[in-house]
Amino acid sequence: MVLSCHNIYKSFGEQTVLENCSFHIEEYDKAAIVGINGAGKSTLLKIIAGELSADNGSCIVAKDKQVGYLPQQQVMESDHTIYDELLLVKKDLIDMEEQIRAMEIRMKSHSGEQLDALMQTYSRLTHEFELNNGYSYKSEVTGILKGLGFLEEDFKKPVRTLSGGQKTRVALGKILLNKPEIIMLDEPTNHLDMESISWLETYLLNYKGAVLIVSHDRYFLDRISNKIIELDFAKATTFTGNYSAYSEKKAILRTAQWNAYMNQQNEIKHQEEVIRKLKSFNREKSIRRAESREKMLDKIEVLDRPLEHTAGIKMQITPRLLSGTDVLSLQNVKKSFGKLTLFNDLNFEIKRGERVALIGNNGTGKTTILKMINQILPCDEGIVKIGTNVHIGYYDQEHNVLHKEKSLFDEIADDFPTLTNTEIRNTLAAFLFTGDEVYKRIMDLSGGERGRVSLAKLMLSEANFLILDEPTNHLDIASKEILENVLNHYEGTILYVSHDRYFINKTATRILDLEQNTVTNYIGNYDYYLEKKNSFEKNTVNPENKATDDSLSKLDWKQQKEQIAQQRKLENELKRVEDKISQLEDRSGVLDLEMSLPENAVNVSALQPLLSEKESISEELDQLYDRWNVLSEQLY
């Protein structure tokens, strides 16, 4: 065990954030802390890191174990370059290397016993230098910087000139390079693109130490974690397994708690009714029985009603009218900024009802494409064509669609003048703004709060084509799951940019991968995209390993779509066959029961039609079983 937290208690004023929280981390654990916004996740990390004191309880780090802590916000005003800032971690090795080089020079001018003594010291130092990976520390620095998304031309940039996100990546690089026994990371994926997140996942999976993470990136948690520490209503509960395993166990546990509570409540009500009835008889015997039951009832340990978070976003988006089949078409689109060409021959189209995720590394032009579709930016060449009866609802990650000087109430009232005051308040309440909060100015809101206002406007827009730029940013896991459910039941068309792979996996029916100035189309969710992309890259390096089932990657998206449609047709037929089999088997069972009745068993005229129907059902079932086998083989 490298870390033990015992009965941690922390409050801010009258609000208790953590209460009797206990858990431990083993030497190679990859653990995640999860909970809604405000549950105390970052507070707990700060207490472990010693940046905040607990009101009660203790956090004990094993002797001689070092902790590396990455908070969400970085204050870093160093004049060093990015590369030199990371080299500070290796100062001991650099000093040792300089000492070795100085000794090499001194040995040239010494002899005899002095040279022997120098040689012994030199041998010891070089051995220690080698053991500490001294001969490859520069390549290690370069590898970590590139893995975190820095280009070689970035290495010479002064740290003080970097954005907040870039400074966070530098701080993360220093922690990884330092290799502490315990790494604690607070939202490490917020400022990384998909490629860098994937690199970090692999790095942490192979890390020879313990990792404790706070993150809303469920895909990341699924790949990394073997232990989940849930903070819920100030209490900590530990679950083994990754996020998906935790989610399933949590749902089962919650159902069991509710069932136990409801069953006990029903039993209590039943006993109380029996007691009341017995007393109403007003007889000595019945009164004694009533008193006996009351004593038993008093001994019951009454279960508390399971707590639940009722303050969730309430959202539903309903298109006002149906769009045409062709929703969007980009033809030979080119866009440059100065000498930087993002794309010069971009082509894709979107049909009604599709949910399309646009993915790619930072800087490839994803947001630019959304802005061109919304006519916020012009394209240099080509055509951006919006289909018939298409009404766009745009969610901008920078929330430029909001007016910073306005209050929340006025923001909604001015854009939707037909709404009554009550309707405006009800809408804002659905997105967790109540009471006097509706008079807050947009400029005074947090990023997450602005996101909720943008979502509220999106819901009111009644759009049939949603264009969303990083819609899950600043949302906690519970809110993300609500948004996923809303989008999956939305009857319009969706195009969105997101780095949230779990969100993409849950919502996308098609993926456009923007890389090398063009888009590659994948029909399916993120897992399908990853499988096909990895397969393609493997076959590019080793063409002889190409498998026959990779022929799908050669098809254009229309052919892929036809194959998906054919699969759905088979799935629907299989479902119909299974339903018919179930109906006939039920009827066959009824016939068996009827034929066994005494009045039918000895009555030939009554038995004959039952036998005839039974035989007919048997023949039909044989045919259905055969068809089920054929469909199953085609599908699976």
Position 463 scores a pLDDT of: 93
Whether the pLDDT of residue 307 is over 70: the answer is yes
Task: Give the strands of the sheet with 15-25, arranged side by side.
Answer: 15-25, 3-12, 56-61
Mean pLDDT across 154-175:
90
Residue 335 bridge partners (DSSP): 343
Cβ distance 466 to 495 under 8 Å? Answer: yes
d(CA 258, CA 419): 39
Position 378 scores a pLDDT of: 92
The phi and psi torsions of 144 (rounded to 5 degrees) equal -70, -45
d(CA 505, CA 524): 9
Position 551 scores a pLDDT of: 47
- What's the DSSP call for residue 333? E
pLDDT bucket at 549, cuts 50 / 70 / 90: very low
Position 472 scores a pLDDT of: 87
* Beta carbons within 8 Å of 336's beta carbon, 6+ residues apart: 342, 344, 380
Which strand (E) or helix (H) includes residue 288? helix 284-299
Whether the pLDDT of residue 284 is over 80: the answer is yes
Least confident of 3-7, 501-505, 544-548: 544-548
- pTM of the full predicted structure? 0.70
Q: What would the DSSP string read from start to end of 204-266?
A: HHT-SSEEEEE-S-HHHHHHH-SEEEEEETTEEEEEES-HHHHHHHHHHHHHHHHHHHHHHHH
Find the helix packing angle between 194-205 and 137-147, rounded to 10°. Answer: 130
Show the tokens assigned to 559.
């052919």
Mean pLDDT of the chain: 87
Q: Which residue has the tokens 């206990």?
A: 22
Sign of CA dihedral 607, 613, 619, 625: negative
CATH 1.10.287 fits 561-635, yes or no: yes
The phi and psi torsions of 328 (rounded to 5 degrees) equal -150, 140
Q: Give the Å distances, CA to CA, from 223 to 200, 354, 476, 524, 633.
A: 11, 28, 19, 20, 32
Where on the phi/psi map is residue 215: left (φ > 0), alpha (ψ -120 to 50), or beta?
beta
Mean pLDDT across 541-546:
53
Which strand (E) or helix (H) includes residue 17? strand 15-25
Three-state DSSP class for 126?
Answer: helix
More confident residue, 356 or 556: 356
pLDDT digits (tens, 9 = 90+) for 467-501: 999 998 877 788 888 889 899 999 999 999 998 99
Cβ distance 305 to 261 under 8 Å? Answer: yes
Please state whether beta strands 227-232 and 235-240 pair in parallel, antiparallel, or not at all (unpaired): antiparallel
Q: Per this entry, what is the length of the chain? A: 636
d(CA 200, CA 175): 12
Position 537 scores a pLDDT of: 63
Whether the pLDDT of residue 632 is over 70: the answer is no
pLDDT cut 70: percent of the chain above it: 94
* Beta carbons within 8 Å of 418's beta carbon, 6+ residues apart: none
Residue type, 273: E
d(CA 4, CA 25): 6
pLDDT bucket at 570, cuts 50 / 70 / 90: confident
Domain 326-555 belongs to what architecture? 3-Layer(aba) Sandwich (3.40)
Mean pLDDT across 614-628:
84
d(CA 321, CA 310): 32
Position 175 scores a pLDDT of: 94
d(CA 196, CA 172): 12
Position 553 scores a pLDDT of: 45
Cβ distance 536 to 553 under 8 Å? Answer: yes
Position 548 scores a pLDDT of: 44
- What's the DSSP call for residue 62? P
Mean pLDDT across 124-142:
88
Position 550 scores a pLDDT of: 46
Residue type, 451: G
Position 554 scores a pLDDT of: 44
Position 599 scores a pLDDT of: 78
CA atoms within 13 A on the CB side of 524: 15
The phi and psi torsions of 16 (rounded to 5 degrees) equal -85, 120
Find the helix packing angle between 557-596 and 604-635, rounded to 10°. Answer: 160
Whether the pLDDT of residue 75 is over 80: the answer is no
Position 475 scores a pLDDT of: 79
Position 310 scores a pLDDT of: 55
Least confident of 83-92, 179-188, 581-590: 581-590
Counting DSSP H helices and E strands in the chain, the numbers are: 20, 18
Please state whether beta strands 15-25 and 3-12 pair in parallel, antiparallel, or not at all (unpaired): antiparallel
d(CA 31, CA 211): 6
Please state whether beta strands 3-12 and 56-61 pair in parallel, antiparallel, or not at all (unpaired): antiparallel
Which strand (E) or helix (H) includes residue 112? helix 112-131
pLDDT bucket at 547, cuts 50 / 70 / 90: very low
pLDDT bucket at 552, cuts 50 / 70 / 90: very low
Q: Which fold would CATH assign to domain 1-76+166-241?
A: Rossmann fold (3.40.50)
Most confident segment among 324-328, 458-462, 538-542: 324-328
d(CA 311, CA 172): 34
The phi and psi torsions of 495 (rounded to 5 degrees) equal -125, 125
**Rg of the chain taking only CA atoms, in angstroms:** 33
pLDDT digits (tens, 9 = 90+) for 389-410: 999 999 987 777 789 899 999 9
d(CA 507, CA 514): 19
pLDDT digits (tens, 9 = 90+) for 356-400: 999 988 788 999 999 999 999 999 999 999 999 999 999 987 777
More confident residue, 352 or 132: 352
Position 400 scores a pLDDT of: 76
CA dihedral 558, 559, 564, 570 (to 10 degrees): 130
Position 480 scores a pLDDT of: 86
